[in-house]
């Protein structure tokens, strides 16, 4: 079976887990797969540069808003 780069990343991460965590993750993956047995992962939904820029900007705005709230509470 040939695997794609995204699947290889998942396998590498899985292989580094302690045995108990790997067993738990495997059981979770099997339960999730049972929810939609005929569904395949569509890896084409990766983020574009514009998506990443938008997410980064929104994250920064949220962080700054939270910092303002904290600053306002400590005054």
**Nearest-angstrom CA–CA distance, 39 and 36:** 6
CA–CA distance from 4 to each of 24, 38, 51, 60, 61 (Å)? 24, 19, 23, 33, 35
For 35, the domain range is 1-41
Indicate the number of domains in the chain: 2
With 90 as the cut, is the pLDDT of residue 16 above it? yes
Are 21 and 54 in a shared domain?
no
Residue 4: pLDDT band by 50, 70, 90 thresholds? confident
Residue 64: pLDDT band by 50, 70, 90 thresholds? very high
Collapsing DSSP to helix, strand or coil, 47 comes out as coil
Are 30 and 52 in a shared domain?
no
Residue 2: pLDDT band by 50, 70, 90 thresholds? confident
Are 35 and 64 in a shared domain?
no
User: How much is the pTM?
Assistant: 0.45
Task: Dump pLDDT digits (tens) for 24-57.
Answer: 999 998 998 898 888 877 666 677 888 889 999 9
């Amino acid at each position: 079976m040939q695997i794609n780069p995204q699947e290889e990343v998942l396998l590498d991460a899985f292989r580094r887990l302690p045995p108990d965590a790997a067993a738990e993750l495997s059981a979770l993956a099997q339960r999730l797969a049972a929810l939609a047995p005929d569904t395949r992962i569509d890896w084409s939904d990766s983020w574009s540069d514009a998506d990443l820029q938008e997410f980064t900007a929104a994250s920064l705005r949220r962080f700054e808003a939270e910092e303002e709230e904290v600053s306002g509470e400590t005054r």
